[in-house]
Structure formats: structure tokens, C-alpha cells
Amino acid sequence: MLGTRTVPSDHPAFEALPVQHIAVGDAHERIAVRVVGEMPVGRSPVICLPGYHRNMSDFTEFTGLLHRTMGEDWPVVLIDLKGRGRSADRRDKSRYITTIDARDVADVCAAFCIESAVFIGQGYGGQVVMALGAERPTLIAGTVLIDSGPLSDPRGLVRLRNNLKDLDGLRSEAGLRSMFRRMLGNDYPGVPETLLDVLAARTHYLDRRSRVRPLFDPHLVRMLEAFEHDDVLVAQWPLFNALSGTPLMMMRTQLTDQLQRNVFEEMMRRRRDSDGYVIEEQSSPALLNSVEDVEPIADFVRQVLKSRNRPAAERISA
């Protein structure tokens, strides 16, 4: 029981992802964390943060693929931000903001004696990393942003809100499956419908009365009420610039409606030293379930860690 929200203990999406719960901030608001691999002091792990209403299950396949190239013992940390997955909901709903989520992530790092890490953030998770860069820059050894930038596309926010509302009130597994297949079919062309069913199970489940329930705090949907398709949002470039002192890789799914192409291109222009990559025929979240899409991230992580291990004089001369 997470406040008023229940997560079934046998939910299939979490079956392979056992977690521990860390007390962060309010004693009743624990964060679900999964640590894979060895975590010796001084070793920089890879920390994964999912999108706005999503949870660590989006990194299920990614972890195994990363270990195939980095080694089975390399530490990977998966975090459910508060109000998502198996983390507790916030009692004060006004605290669902990137800066406070970033402080929670910093507290999780402190609990595991993590001095620095390579962060991978999808969508909202990437914005949390930017906020972390503004407040705790020494924690960030490198960053991979996926469909994430200083400006969200309001059309994507409106579509997300409407889709989540359409799911509310469904009362059958068949209805849930049919709705998600309709919603996601164009986002992942060519993907088997069974995989779309897997994506559905990562954010929703059926309770004992066969009612569809979210695996996130419903208040997150209400926070999207104010957005309209034609809203003009202000880009938070200072937050993006907070990552300027560390290595950066930027990825964009070809079909995303979360990050506009022109914003992505401007990000690449401002950080000409960064790596850029487009994941074809996918939308948000990126599936990260193929070697072709995970290998560039593994290469980036290796480069970051190799650079950090070089003598200081050599880094300066380079």
C-alpha cells in the first residue's frame, strides 16, 4: 500500500525487478530502488530515471543488454521517482516537481555512497537530471538524455493526458489491451502486438474487480490539465546549460511527440561536443531492447569512465 495506491505484489512487469525501499524525505514516502551488479565505493554506476508517469520497468531489457557489453558486475541503479511504480505517492502534491525529485535522487545516491554516476533519463527523467546538474553537479559524471530537453512539446503532454483519461474507467483486460494497441500502434510500427501489451502492463494493471488501475499517482494526470495544443512554453535553457561541464549524449526517438526536432537540433548546436543519436521507428519511451540502440550508450559510458580515470594533467592537455 502506497498511501491510497496499491501495487500488486505479483505484477508481471515487476517480476524480474525486485527492489528495496529507501526512506527519503518524509519517513512515509519511500523510494523503490533496484541495484544490479557490484557497488564498491568509488565506482561510478549507471543510474536510470524513467519518464513522467513511468517506472523502472522501462529499463528491463536495457539492463541485460548493457551488462552484455559492460560486464555482469557493472553497477546499474534503477529508480522509481515518487508517485511512480513501487515508490510512495507524495502527500504534498505540490512537490511533484523536477527540483524536488532531483533532491530525492541525490539522497538515494548518498544512501548508497555514490559519489558520481552516469545518468540516463527518459523524458521527464532527463529533466530531473538537468535539475540535479544545477544543484549537485559533482554527482554527474555524464548524462544520456532520451527524448528529453529544456522544453517539452505541449502536443505530447495533451496527448498523454487524453490517453490516460481514456484508460480511466476501463473494466476488462480485453478493453485495456485493445485501447493500448490503438494508442501505441502508430508509435511503434512493426512491433508485435504482444510487445505493446508489455508496455501497457508497465503503467497499468487490473484490480480484483477487473478495473484498470494506474501504476502511478493519478494526481500526475491532473497536473497536465492546464496544457493545450497551442501553448507556447518557455525553454529552460539554464537547466540544460547546467550539464555543460560534463559529457553528454542526446538521443531522440524518430516518432516522439515529447521533444520537437527543432529543439533537439538546437540542443545539438549548443553542445557540439556531444554525441547525438536517433532511434528509428520508435516513440516515447524508447524501448532500449536491441543491441543496436544500447551499444551507443555503452560506448558513451565507457568513454566517460575512461576519461575520468585519466591523469588530471593528461585531461587538461587534451
- CATH code of the domain in which 289 resides: 3.40.50.1820
Beta bridge partners, 71, equal none
Residue 18 cell numbers, joined: 525486485
- Out of 48-52, 135-139, 229-233, least confident range: 229-233
Q: How far is C-alpha 263 from the chain's CA centre?
A: 19
Buried b (16+ CB within 10 A) or exposed e, 226-254: ebeeeeeeeebeebbebbeebbbbbbbbe
Residue 306 cell numbers, joined: 575512461
Q: Which of 199, 222, 245 is the last residue of a domain?
A: 222
Tell whether 80 and 195 lie within a shared domain: no
CA-wise closest residue to 256 among 186, 198, 202, 164? 186
Tell whether 30 and 143 lie within a shared domain: yes
Residue 80 pLDDT more than 50?
yes
DSSP 228: -
Is the CB of residue 252 less than 8 Å from the CB of residue 279?
yes
> Is the backbone of residue 58 left (phi > 0), alpha (psi -120 to 50) or beta?
alpha
Query: pTM to 2 decimals?
Result: 0.94
Tell whether 199 and 312 lie within a shared domain: no
Tens of pLDDT, residue by residue over 152-188, are: 999 999 999 999 999 987 888 888 899 999 999 999 9
Tell whether 143 and 55 lie within a shared domain: yes
Tens of pLDDT, residue by residue over 41-75, are: 667 899 999 999 999 999 999 999 999 988 888 89
Rounded to whole angstroms, the Cα distance separating 200 from 194 reads 10
Angle at 213 between CA 123 and CA 8, to 5 degrees: 95
Of all residues in the chain, the percent with pLDDT exceeding 90 is 79
- Residue 271, helix vs strand vs coil: coil
Tell whether 242 and 214 lie within a shared domain: no
Tell whether 146 and 162 lie within a shared domain: no
Enclosing domain of residue 115: 12-152+237-317
pLDDT at 231: 72
Is the CB of residue 148 less than 8 Å from the CB of residue 127?
yes
